[in-house]
Chains A and B, each alone.
Chain A
Amino acid sequence: MTAEALFADQIEATTARTSATSPALLAVIRAARDGDERAFEEIMLASERRVSLLAWRILGDGEEVKEATQETFLRVFRHLRRFDEQLDFFGWLFRIAVNVCRDIEKRRRRRWIFAPFDQALSIASNHRPADDTIAANDDAALLTRAIDALPAKERLAVILREVEELSTEEVAAILGSSPATVRVQVSKARAKLRVWIEAWRGGAR
């Protein structure tokens, strides 16, 4: 089975709201766990685009996305034996990817704090989205700017719940918090986004 077929199979399983991993993907995971490098490459092929897109949504910087994707798969390989087959593989994978992105964000903040002023400006502007240059009344640019302005926890919750369209329980499992907390964070984030986008639209007119 090709990586695309594995991916499609898993998408069907996810949309059907089955929390378990699809049997085909599970077989590949077992093979990779037993040391089959080809099987691990199949897993990477099946999931790398989703991982990189998630990292892109969280980090917003191309180089950091490459780093995050690579580090995510290295961690997956290291901890593959700990994966519980009863759980959804992509949920587990996303959890690792989110943790890697958090680590990269922390490092970026530290670098920003301790860097000289000129470099700090370039670091701060690097992770701004490229589409900020689009006209302010462009919906996508407004949305990007508004989501980037959210506090870290609310931003992650809204990206996973609203953008990646995961269930509240899945988001809670990925972020290591309760579903109620996720609901509150998403609700607050929505309210803020609505206010900001309205304000920016009003200001642009």
Chain B
Amino acid sequence: MKMNEFRSTQPLSDDDFAAIRQNVMTTIAARKSFFPIVMRFAFAAAVVIAIGVAFVRRPAAPVIAAKPIVTKPPIAVAAAAPAPITRVVAHRPRHRRATHPRAQYASSVQQNIRVEFRTSDPDVRIIWIASQTPSTTTGGKS
């Protein structure tokens, strides 16, 4: 058995070959005529874009106005005017210690008030310390 006997007869006739050749040549010719058209369109589009880029005026860039430099006037210090009270500090113990109940009672009765006045002169301060005692004693043994 010879292997080259496998489908050794030509399946297509001369007419078939002629039709194939004609189809191939027609397709090639169509492709050849199609590409120049595409190239012309591409060239025309490129020219239009180039003209558009060259001649279309760009909108003027907005002028950014320079901000006026505002200088703050120097702060005038009133000479003899009495300075307002800026801060009232009352001294309190930062940490509460465990105290004796009697001492705790006494501290609640006697409270010191410290009032500090600042004047326009930073070297001069008026500090008023007053011990406030209740007018009536509510504590004590009942």
Contact = CB atoms under 8 A, between A and B. Distances in A.
A143 B17 CA distance: 27
Interface stretch (B8-16, B64-72, B93-101, B103-111): B8-16
Contacts of B125: none
12 contacts: A37-B25, A37-B28, A40-B25, A48-B17, A49-B10, A57-B6, A73-B24, A74-B24, A139-B1, A143-B3, A143-B5, A163-B4
B28 A66 contact: no
A21 interface: no
A163 B20 contact: no
Interface in A52-67: 52-53, 56-57, 60, 62, 65-66
B21 interface: yes
A118 to B, nearest CB: 26
B23 A70 contact: yes
Contacts of A48: 17, 20-21
Given A60-B7, A62-B12, A52 B17 contact: yes
B21 A74 contact: no
A77 interface: yes
B68 to A, nearest CB: 71
A60 B6 CA distance: 11
A180 interface: no
B27 interface: yes
Contacts of B21: 41, 44-45, 48
B29 interface: yes
A96 B97 CA distance: 100
A52 B24 contact: no
Interface residues of B, number: 21
Interface in A152-197: 158-159, 162-163, 165, 197
Contacts of A45: 21
A114 B105 CA distance: 100
A82 B8 CA distance: 32
B6 A70 contact: no
Interface in A22-55: 37, 40-41, 44-45, 48-49, 52-53
A73 B23 CA distance: 10
Interface residues of A, number: 33
Interface of B: 1, 3-8, 10-12, 16-17, 19-21, 23-25, 27-29
A144 B7 contact: yes
Given A62-B12, A65-B11, A139-B1, A40 B28 contact: yes
A163 B11 contact: no
A62 B29 contact: no
A140 interface: yes
A182 to B, nearest CB: 15
A129 B7 CA distance: 9
Residue picked from B8, B11, B16, most chain A C-beta under 10 Å: B11
A70 B5 contact: no
Contacts of A10: none
B6 A41 contact: no
Contacts of B24: 44, 70, 73-74, 77
B6 A159 contact: yes
B1 A197 contact: yes
A143 B4 CA distance: 10
